[in-house]
Amino acid sequence: MAKKVLVSALGILLLSGCGAEELSVNERIERARILSDHDRIDESLQILKEVVAQEPKNARAFYLTGVTLEKRQSFEQAKSAYDDCLEIEPSNSDALNNRGVIHAKLGDSDAALKDLLQATSLNSDDALAWANLALAQHDRGMNQEAISSYRRAISIRKDSRFLFQLGNVFLDTANWDEAETAYNAAIELDNQNANALLNRITVFIEKKRFDLARQDIARVKSLDNDLVHRSSIEDRLRILAAKESPVQESRYVSQWLESKGWRLETNGDNSSFLTATRVEDSVLSGVVIMRVDDSGRVVCDALASEAALKATSPLMLLVIDPRLFASAESAQVANPLWLVDANFDWKPTAADFAPQTVVYRSAAVVPPAAPLPPK
């Protein structure tokens, strides 16, 4: 306990500036480090400048100068400080690691890889250096090398950030199972890792595990008190709706038609031209689905419009908005929010298939026993 009090007191002494003229070079460097840790950047740099003027070959002073300049986002100056450090002490793996990261930030991927490879060679137990190397390799498209480096980093130190970044490599290579495993491990270590949750949502969407995707979206929302991830959540909700809507669409259209006395005969794909049978008398009808796109226009795919114009059987038209499938109320059959308009006795012309601005109407206006065809 006494030692902790003594260290704390030393920190106060160094920060306050008391007795500065009596401090040795090492003590002044330590004072600069404490000031840097407390974001008193200019004061720290001034002390380090004085140290370097007194001892031009002090590698530690140059290294700490680089670290402090990085905090100020002065990357070119920080790189120059690390250059000076490494000229004096070429085997300083920490300086190599930090300079490699700066090279990457400045867009020099070749120099970044060179420094980070040397850093891991000099200190093979530096988990952060391995993770930084993996990130540089991933940026260069060296995915297998990046996977190997991340696994090396994780074997040294199990860190949620490393597992998240490993998952990103698998995500970029569409290896959904490995990506999910990595994100699961990252979240297990840190259940506040919103980035891992966000990317796991992407994996769940790709694997068509939509319920799990929605659960993770809810978790990220609960963590996002400052709305940092709001746009990312909205992006994933849009992607989820687009991926999920064909599955929901077929189910909801079928349920709604059944409530009107029809049975959908063909479904399960994303086709806009289907066939339905009226249960009462087995009359067949073509079913044309037109969809509202993201810009709010009603559109129909070319194959469906061509089939509809050539059809000799009666036609019915359903205009739906896939974006509304994200609502829990979409499953309502009596007056589904996703059904913009319906026509049980439709006689289309070519002009009907031109993109048009949607005018929302309630599907409830369709008579429950609309005649098709007239008896």
In a domain, 101, yes or no: no
- Per-residue model confidence as pLDDT tens digits over 78-133: 999 999 999 999 999 999 999 999 999 999 999 999 999 999 999 999 999 999 99
Q: Show Cβ contacts of residue 220 under 8 Å, excluding neighbours closer than 6 positions.
A: 194, 197, 198, 201, 229, 232, 233
| CATH assignment at residue 313 | 3.40.1350
Let me know if residue 325 belongs to a domain: yes
pLDDT digits (tens, 9 = 90+) for 148-187: 999 999 999 999 999 999 999 999 999 999 999 999 999 9
CB neighbours of 102 closer than 8 A, spacing ≥ 6?
70, 75, 78, 79, 82
- In angstroms and rounded to an integer, the radius of gyration of the C-alpha atoms of the chain is 32
Range of the domain at 318: 246-365
Tokens 């992006």 locate to 235
Domain assignment present for residue 180? The answer is no
Q: How many domains does the chain have?
A: 1
Given a cut of 70, whether residue 367 has pLDDT beyond it is no
Residue 74 belongs to some domain of the structure: no
> Does residue 154 lie within any of the structural domains?
no
Residues 338-355 have a mean pLDDT of 83
- Classify strands 284-292 and 315-320 as parallel, antiparallel or unpaired: parallel
Mean per-residue pLDDT over the chain, rounded: 86
Split at pLDDT 50, 70, 90, the class of 352 is confident
Residue 138 lies in a domain: no
- Give the sign of the dihedral formed by CA 28, CA 77, CA 75, CA 73: positive
Count other C-beta atoms under 10 Å from residue 356's C-beta. Answer: 13
Which residue type sits at 267?
N
Question: Do 276 and 262 meet the contact criterion of CB atoms below 8 Å apart?
Answer: yes
pLDDT, residue 87, reads 97
pLDDT at position 270 is 53
With H, G, I as helix, E, B as strand and everything else as coil, classify residue 101: helix
**Helix, strand, coil shares of the chain as percentages rounded to 5?**
65, 10, 30
- For residue 67, the model assigns a pLDDT of 97
Q: What is the pLDDT of residue 13?
A: 45
Count CB neighbours of 191 within 10 A: 13
Whole-number pLDDT of residue 244:
76
